[in-house]
Structure 1
Amino acid sequence: GDEIQAIKAGVLEIADIHVVSKCDRDDANRTLTDLRQMLTLGTMVGPRRAWAVPVVGVSSYTGQGVDDLLARIAAHRAAMTDSELGRERRRRVAEFRLHKTAETLLLERFAAGAKGLAPALADTLARRASDPYAAARQLIAQTIRKEYTGDLA
């Protein structure tokens, strides 16, 4: 129960707009109400957010809520374009992308450098002459040494 609530709380923090589909069904109001209550509770105990996360019910069958959803999307875009919150979010996304790109390049470079070194170290592991952490440290050290001596393409 507590784990489910924690997951729900985390999920609620992810979205900028919550959309409940099939709101023409009888049980949709319960879902809309539950989401709104959880978001309200979150604002009482958590930090205040600059963007109030809306919960919008839509139905593709009746078209209900679609105009409201489009208006909320436009409002969110405007809020993110012209605010400190939007600038901070773009900076965080850019930083995340920078780190992921650097990580990818580093792993590619490491894989190229470690190519000929891993089999010998794997043999020492197979013979139990070393442990995985020591072998990994050795692989990293040898790969870096190879990189700095110019042996790596």
Structure 2
Amino acid sequence: MIDNLIERMLKGDKKATARLITLVENDEEKAREIVKKIYKYTGKAYIIGITGPPGSGKSTLLDKLIKQARNEGLIVGVIAIDPTSPFTGGALLGDRIRMQRHSTDPGVFIRSMATRGSLGGLAKATNDAIKVLDAYGCDVIFVETVGVGQIEVDIVKTADTVVLVTVPGLGDDIQAIKAGLMEIADIFVINKADKEGADATFFELNLLLDLEKEKWERRGWRPPIVETVAVTMKGIKDLWEAIKRHRKFLEESGEIKKKKKFRAEEEVKTIVSDSVARKISEKLKDKELSKLIDKIVKREIDPYSAAEVVLEETLGVKI
């Protein structure tokens, strides 16, 4: 079945592509098989991350960026991450509603995915889904994160260009940027720039960038600040041009190779970590683990020593 789906996907079959993404999202064993078979067809798509707090207009902005990319004849893939309900395990998956006008465009593939409890603003299967869309033939893949503030940093392990969207009037938003998002953004966007407070937000961001002037000079790229009003298309072309300039910078400076190497290393670490955790869960019986936990609670053993016991008994690894 998988071989047939891959064959159809490589010929541009959207239904087969959707089915493959469903498999990598729901079945880890099948995900491994699929990625192994399609990997040689990947590596051509440019990945753009759209991140920022809830309510900043990320989906509306993305809707307009899709149009810009399509105007240039690019095949576009979109992975929009939605939060999972802690009560039902379900997700609204409503981003396709906002981008529904593109749903009939054969050059656009939009997929919503649930986080399923994954932190960092991304779904666990995001990287594999990106590979499927890459092999499918997308020139550009947009990844819209769930919008959870300071833990949105995982997008840097996925995207070539990270666009951080903010809006005027969110004091805690600037605090979040100071707390870590500043490090991952390649482009800043002040959306809804027609609202009161836009000038102040622009000033604050510029000030924060000035404080890191030496760092940007070393990197050779100072993140530009683009003001947009997505609903009226104001500033959208400027944003698209900024994305293209950043891509050109990465390619000409050789930074794109460093990014790809970093992402590959992080992905391998994650796969190894998840595999080890799963293997331990399989080998370690619940009763044995419960006894060990009881010993920790009774202060008969410390957590580090307990972890050493677990690793040695399950994997034969000493730390």
The normalised TM-score by structure 1 is 0.76
Compared with structure 1, are the counterparts of its residues 34 and 11 closer, same or farther at alpha carbon in structure 2 (3 Å cutoff)? same
Q: Which runs of 4+ in 1 moved over 6 A?
A: none
Hey, what does 2:315 align to over in structure 1? 144
Identity %: 29
Q: Distance in 1 between matches of 2:299 and 2:227?
A: 62
| 1:31 aligned onto 2:197 | no
Tell me how far 1:67 sits from its aligned partner. Answer: 0.9
Tell me how far 1:136 sits from its aligned partner. Answer: 3.3
Q: Which runs of 5+ in 1 are unaligned?
A: 148-153
Q: How does 1:68-107 map to 2 (within 5 A)?
A: 68-107=238-277
CA contact (8 A) 1:50 1:85 kept: no
Deviations 1:87-131 (A, max 9, x none): 1111111111110111011111111111263244345456x4822
CA contact (8 A) 2:216 2:222 kept: no
Secondary structure of 2:226's partner? strand
Q: Distance in 1 between matches of 2:188 and 2:247?
A: 15
RMSD between aligned residues: 2.8
Q: Mean alpha-carbon deviation: is it higher for 57-66 or for 15-24? A: 57-66
Tell me how far 1:55 sits from its aligned partner. Answer: 0.4
Compared with structure 1, are the counterparts of its residues 62 and 122 closer, same or farther at alpha carbon in structure 2 (3 Å cutoff)? closer
Secondary structure of 2:246's partner? helix
Compared with structure 1, are the counterparts of its residues 21 and 130 closer, same or farther at alpha carbon in structure 2 (3 Å cutoff)? same
Q: Distance in 2 between matches of 1:6 and 1:31?
A: 13
Q: Mean alpha-carbon deviation: is it higher for 36-45 or for 58-67? A: 36-45
CA contact (8 A) 2:228 2:234 kept: yes
Hey, what does 1:111 align to over in structure 2? 281
Secondary structure of 1:23's partner? coil
Q: Which has the larger radius of gyration?
A: 1
CA contact (8 A) 2:187 2:223 kept: yes
The normalised TM-score by structure 2 is 0.39
Q: Which runs of 5+ in 2 are unaligned?
A: 1-173
> Which of the pair is proportionally richer in strand?
2
Hey, what does 1:50 align to over in structure 2? 220
Q: Which amino acid aligns with 2:191?
A: S
Hey, what does 1:151 align to over in structure 2? none
Q: Which amino acid aligns with 2:187?
A: I
Q: Which amino acid aligns with 1:28?
A: A
Q: Distance in 2 between matches of 1:51 and 1:124?
A: 53
Compared with structure 1, are the counterparts of its residues 78 and 129 closer, same or farther at alpha carbon in structure 2 (3 Å cutoff)? closer
Q: Mean alpha-carbon deviation: is it higher for 78-87 or for 20-29? A: 78-87
CA contact (8 A) 1:23 1:57 kept: yes
Compared with structure 1, are the counterparts of its residues 139 and 29 closer, same or farther at alpha carbon in structure 2 (3 Å cutoff)? same
Hey, what does 1:121 align to over in structure 2? 292
Q: Distance in 2 between matches of 1:49 and 1:34?
A: 21
Secondary structure of 1:140's partner? helix
